[in-house]
Structure formats: C-alpha cells, structure tokens
Structure 1
Amino acid sequence: MRVIVSVFNNLYTDQRVEKVCRTLSENGYTIELIGNNWGGLPPINRNYTVTRLKLRSKILRFAYLEFQWKLYKHLLQKADEKCILLSNDLDTLLPNYLIANKLQIPLVFDSHEIFTEMPSVKGRFTQKIWRVLEKQILPKIRFMMTASESYADWFVKTYQIERPVVLQNFPLYIPSFQNSEVNHPQIILYQGVINPSRGLDKMIPAMKHISAAELWIAGDGPKKIEYEGLANGLGLQNKIRFLGKLLPEDLRKITHKADVGLSIEENNGLSYYYSLPNKISDYIQARVPIVVSDFPEMSKVVDTWQVGVKIGDHNELAEKINKVLQNGKHFYSYNLEKAAVVMCWEKEEPKLLHLFQKVTEENF
C-alpha cells in the first residue's frame, strides 16, 4: 500500500515525520514524503522516496499559499485510487483534503500541535483564516492522530469529533548506560527552536543567580541574534553558549552531556500550554533530569516519574535549577530509567500501525 506523506518544512530535523515514515516503510508501506525548501535544502538520506517542492516566496505567508498550490498539483499527479494520504498539520490539509475527495481515497490527518493556537498566529488576521479552514474540514476527517492527550481532548471538545489517536513524539529507546562524566561547570541545556515564548529571555538573566554552570542553547531561530545580544549586554557571554542547529545524531551527543534539560515554555497559546515537547522525552532517554513549565502534559511527566521539578513562574528558574543541579543526575537516575522504558517510540508504534491497518481494511 502506498502512503503519500506531506509536511511544510525541509524535512531536515522533523523527527516525528521521519519516525512515522520509517515505521510505515519497515512494515510494508511504500512511502513518498513531500516537503519543501523553506529553510534551505540540507542533504538527507532516507530509505524511501523524498520530494522537496521548491518555493520562490521569501515571506512565510506567501510561502504557505505557494506550497498549497504546488502540493495540490503534485498530489494530483502522484496520487491514485490505491494510496493513502497523510497530511501533517493544518498547513498541508487543504490540498490533501481536496485530492482525497476528488479521488475518493482515505486521508489521515496528523496534528502535531493546535495550529490555530500557536503564538506565531495568535491575535493575527491569519489566525481567523486558519480557524475557518480547521472548522470546515476537521469534522469531516475520518482518521486523525495528534501529539498529546490534552490536544486530543481539545479537538474533541472544540469540534465534537471522534477522539484522535494520540501518537506521542517519543524517541527510540536508548538502553541503560552509565555516564561517569562529571561536568565542571555543570551544563544546563535548552534544545529546540529559538522562538518567542520559549522562556529563553527569562532564562538568560537567571544565569546571574546560578553559579558553576553554563547554559547551552542548541538550536536556531528568529530570536537567536536578539538573545545573543541579551547575554552579551548582561555580561553573561562566558556562561551562555549558542551551539546553533545540529543534526539529530549530533544533538543526541550533546544531550547526554547535560546535567539538567529545560522545557520552560510560556503560556501564550493553548498549543504550548497543552504540549508535551519532544525535548522532554529526549532528555529522559539521555537520562537527564528536567525543569519544566507547570503545564498539564509536562506536569504529568514530573508527577508520574519524579524526574525533575516544575516552575509555576519563570521567576523561580534559578531556584529550581539550582535545586536539580545540587541533587545531581544520580539522584534522579532510577526514576529516569523507569521513565525511559515507557516514554519511547517503541511503545507508540503499535498505535500508528493499528490506525493504518484500520484505514486499509475500511477502504481497500
């Protein structure tokens, strides 16, 4: 069975889409993955067909429009009556929905987030456009999955739809290992996009009150230059390292080194508030304790596994991080081990395969 997968990015660091495609490919599905050149065309090597549509637009809102049209034309050319469409996020849904209806073929929608509640669109005119699209199409989608239990609850409550399959974006399980390396200074790690509402503008000043430690920021994004300037302006350039965007395999090597991992998003939209960011399970697989915002899904991890602490307010950052650093990684090692066994991709794969088995049985 063919599956045509589409997503609006250049495929380079999208680990969720990569894991989904790899799992389906390894279980007998023929995959074509479609992305684009937004953010460049770094080389990628996959065991399935990859297509990246070339966009000429330099402004994101125009790039979205251009991609919709080019994706529609590409799907019209590639899809047939013997394939399944897999649309990732709202910015690929319309072309997939139109082609699925035109050819009478099944469509699976994977919502990685609540797109219409992202800080990047909140309060803008574009939010209204995406909401109209979401409201018109989502209740008509037969097969859907999403990335957290809270997301699934929100979609059910908002659109009175059947509950989506919750496919959490966990990494592959890493077997237990002993990391005897002791860091001097200790390492506080943030990994991810350097965007607004990620708490970094609060974390950088907090480094004034954390001694014998460095903050490593692994990632890139629109706020990087501003935050570098903030660190320099506060005289903290020797305590804060900007590592840039890293390949997933290189990032994993960095994650293992850390003494504490951060996921300190701000509540500037329900998409962040209800999220369970990938980096939390990445930290746990690296057996690194965490400091997280007191949001529903993140709190659940800390409360269930006792692998770190929560902050109710970003003013608590220095206090809570100092507590974890003083406890040390060994203090959390037993609980991190237990959590790593459960919070891994191997536990999520059966849900994905069951969904696609259901799609196949009902349509072919």
Structure 2
Amino acid sequence: MKIVVSAFSNLYTDQRIEKVCDTLSRNGYAVTLIGNDYGGSVDMQRPYPVKIIRQKSTSLKTAYPEFNWKLYFELKKYADKQTILLANDLDALLPNVLIAKQIGIPLVFDSHEIFTEMPAIQGRFTQKIWRFLERKLLPNLQYMMTESESYAEWFSQKYGVKPVVVRNIPKQIKDMVTIPDNNPKIILYQGAINQSRGITQAILATQYLENVIFKIAGDGPKLKEYQQLVKDKKLQDKVQFLGKLLPDDLRKLTKTADVALSLEENGGVSYLYSLPNKVADCIQARVPLVMINFPEMLRVYKQFKVGEIIENHEPQNIADKIIKVLRNGRSYYQAELEKAAAELCWEKEEDKILRLFQQVVAENF
C-alpha cells in the first residue's frame, strides 16, 4: 500500500513528519514524501523517496498558492488507486482533497496545530482565507490526526470531526544520563524565534540572574528584534543566539542544559492548547523545565513534576522559577523525568498511527 505524504515544509527540521514516515515505512507501507524548498533545503537521506518542490516565491503571500498549485500536479503524478494520501496541516490540504476525490482514494489529515489561530496570521486578511478553507474542508474529513487532547476537543466541537491524538514527542532515550557541572549554568530555549513564545520576557529575566548563559537555538522572523533587545539591555554576556540546528545537533545541545524554558503566550488557541515539542524533547534529555500553566503543559506537570510552573510572564517571576530549578539541581528532578520519559515517547504513539492506517486500509481497499 502506497502512502503519499505532503507538507508545506523544507522537511529537514520537521521531526514529526520524519517520525510518522519512519513508523509507516518500517511497518510495510511504501512512503513517498513531498515538501518544498521555501526557506532553504538540504540533501536528506531517507529510506523512502523524497520530492522537493522548487519554489520561486520569496514571500509567504505567494508561496502558499504556488506550492498548492504545484503540489496538485505532484500528487496527480504519484497517486493511484492503491494510494493513501497524508496531508500535513491546512496549507497542504486543498490539493490533497481534490486529488482524493478525483481518484477516489482515502485521505488522512494531520493537523500539527490549529493553523487558523496561529499568532502570525491573527487579524490579517489571510486568516479569513484560511478560515474559509478550514470551514469548507474539515467537516468532510473522515480520517484525522492532531497533536494534543485540547486540539482534538477544539476540532471536534467546531467541525464535528474526531481526530486521533498523536502527540509530537521524541523517541525514548534510554542512555545513561550524565549531568554536566556547568559554570555558568545553562538556560535553554529551543524552537522557532517568533512572537508569542515568551522569548522577550525570558531575555529580560536574565537581568535578575547571575552566573548563567541563556542559549537560544532556532531561527525565525523575530530574531533580529530579539538580538537588538539583548544589545539594548547590554545582556550580550548572558544571552547567545545559536541559530537553527540540525536535529542531531539540537539533541546534543539539549542534554547540556541545566534548565529549559517553554513560556508560550496566549496568542490564540493554537498556542494555548499546544504541547510544544521542546517539552518532550527536554524530558527525554532529562532536563527540568520552567513551563507556563497552559492546559497541556499542566497536564504533564500534574502527572510528572518535571520542573516548575509559572502563572504569568513577569520577568522577575520567570527568574525566580529558574533560580528554584537551578538551586534544586537536575538531580532533584531525575526520578520524575525518568517516569515522564518512559510515558512521553514516540513508541507510545506509534500504535495509534498504525491502528488508524489499518482502519483506512480495511474501510477502503
């Protein structure tokens, strides 16, 4: 059985798509992956075919329609009567819906977020376009996955769909943990450098901290703004920007941290209801976290005391919780991190994916 997977992504840093494709490929499905080169691309070695759509557009305003137009013809080329389509996020869904109807084949939709509620499009005209597509396409979907219980509840209430929850969490790391003796202590943020991530407040919190280095690993549209903030506040000796790292390099970095941050702001329900990838990444690295009290992070915290929770984004408050974790030390949190790592791992999610695709095959072929 063939599965054609597509996403508006340059793919090489998209760990969820890589894990899903790996799971399906290892379990006998013939996977073909389609992405694009918007924002750059690198050669990837995968055990299945990868097609990169070349984009001429230099802005998202034109890149999305260009990609969807080209994706439609790529899907037409690769899909046949023995194919399941797997569309990742709303920005790749329309051509998949069209091809699925034309050929009469099933489509699985994997929504990594609530796309129409992302802070980057809040209040813009494009939000109206995406919401129109969401209203038209989602109620007719038979098979869907999404990343958190809160997301699933939102989609179910709004569109009557019943997504399978497949959390975007890493494979279990069973290696012996070596806790570094850092001097200065390392605070880590990993992820996209854009609005509503709590990065501004985390940078300002370093004013209240001594003998620390705050490492920011990632890239995004707010990078220059945050770099300027560091200069304006004369915090260059406390804050480092490391840029976008390949997944293996990022995993190595994560293991070295004394504390990691997940301080998303309520820029819309997509952030409010998310379980950020970095939470489970840090748990697998056995690194304690300072997290905001959003539903999915509270869900983790109530089950496993893997760090500390903040109730607001006041820099002094953030600093106080960081200090508490640093004073306790990584060893203090290891027992709970071990329990969480055994539960919050990709191996626990794989069966959900395989059961869903077994259902798709049984009902359509």
Task: Give the TM-score normalised by structure 1.
Answer: 0.99
**DSSP-derived class of the 1:314 partner:** coil
Contact 1:114-1:270 at 8 Å conserved across structures:
yes
- What are the within-5 Å matches in structure 2 for residues 12-51 of structure 1? 12-51=12-51
Q: Distance in 1 between matches of 2:231 and 2:176?
A: 37
Q: Distance in 1 between matches of 2:223 and 2:121?
A: 20
Q: Distance in 2 between matches of 1:120 and 1:328?
A: 36
Q: How many residues align?
A: 363
Deviations along 1:207-237, whole A, 9 cap, x unmatched? Answer: 0101111100011111111111111111110
Q: Distance in 1 between matches of 2:50 and 2:119?
A: 30
Contact 2:11-2:35 at 8 Å conserved across structures:
yes
Q: Does 1:148 align with 2:182?
A: no
Cα deviation, residue 180, structure 1: 3.8
Q: Distance in 2 between matches of 1:127 and 1:229?
A: 29
**DSSP-derived class of the 1:120 partner:** helix
Q: Distance in 2 between matches of 1:236 and 1:41?
A: 33
Q: Does 1:360 align with 2:361?
A: yes
Q: Distance in 1 between matches of 2:137 and 2:179?
A: 52
Deviation >4 Å, runs of 4+: none
Q: Distance in 1 between matches of 2:115 and 2:234?
A: 37
Q: Distance in 2 between matches of 1:128 and 1:39?
A: 24
Cα deviation, residue 44, structure 1: 1.2
Contact 2:145-2:164 at 8 Å conserved across structures:
yes
Q: Distance in 2 between matches of 1:178 and 1:11?
A: 29
Q: Distance in 1 between matches of 2:78 and 2:160?
A: 33
Q: Distance in 2 between matches of 1:61 and 1:97?
A: 22
Cα deviation, residue 176, structure 1: 4.6
The answer for the alignment partner of 1:345 in structure 2 is 346
- What are the within-5 Å matches in structure 2 for residues 170-249 of structure 1? 170-249=169-248
Q: Distance in 1 between matches of 2:245 and 2:306?
A: 25
Q: Distance in 2 between matches of 1:129 and 1:157?
A: 21
- What are the within-5 Å matches in structure 2 for residues 65-84 of structure 1? 65-84=65-84
**DSSP-derived class of the 1:105 partner:** coil
The answer for the alignment partner of 1:302 in structure 2 is 301
The answer for the alignment partner of 1:330 in structure 2 is 331
**DSSP-derived class of the 2:121 partner:** coil
Contact 1:176-1:337 at 8 Å conserved across structures:
no
Deviations along 1:83-142, whole A, 9 cap, x unmatched? Answer: 000000000000000000000100000000000000011111111111111111111100
Q: Distance in 2 between matches of 1:331 and 1:44?
A: 39
Q: Distance in 1 between matches of 2:349 and 2:151?
A: 16
Contact 2:177-2:286 at 8 Å conserved across structures:
no
Task: Give the TM-score normalised by structure 2.
Answer: 0.98
**DSSP-derived class of the 1:333 partner:** helix
Letter of the 1:72 partner, please give it.
Answer: Y
Q: Distance in 2 between matches of 1:181 and 1:173?
A: 20
Moved more, 103-112 or 122-131: 122-131
The answer for the alignment partner of 1:127 in structure 2 is 127
Letter of the 1:8 partner, please give it.
Answer: F
Q: Distance in 2 between matches of 1:123 and 1:325?
A: 39
**DSSP-derived class of the 1:34 partner:** strand
Letter of the 2:24 partner, please give it.
Answer: L
**DSSP-derived class of the 2:150 partner:** helix
- What are the within-5 Å matches in structure 2 for residues 156-171 of structure 1? 156-161=156-161, 163-171=162-170
The answer for the alignment partner of 1:62 in structure 2 is 62
Letter of the 2:108 partner, please give it.
Answer: V
Q: Distance in 1 between matches of 2:185 and 2:87?
A: 42
**DSSP-derived class of the 2:241 partner:** strand
Contact 1:188-1:213 at 8 Å conserved across structures:
yes
Q: Structure 2 regions of 5+ residues with no counterpart? A: none
Letter of the 1:306 partner, please give it.
Answer: K
The answer for the alignment partner of 2:280 in structure 1 is 281
Contact 1:84-1:105 at 8 Å conserved across structures:
yes
Contact 1:7-1:87 at 8 Å conserved across structures:
yes
The answer for the alignment partner of 1:291 in structure 2 is 290
Q: Distance in 1 between matches of 2:255 and 2:186?
A: 10
Contact 1:2-1:30 at 8 Å conserved across structures:
yes
Contact 1:12-1:42 at 8 Å conserved across structures:
yes
Deviations along 1:139-187, whole A, 9 cap, x unmatched? Answer: 11000000000000000011122x2000001101001513142111111
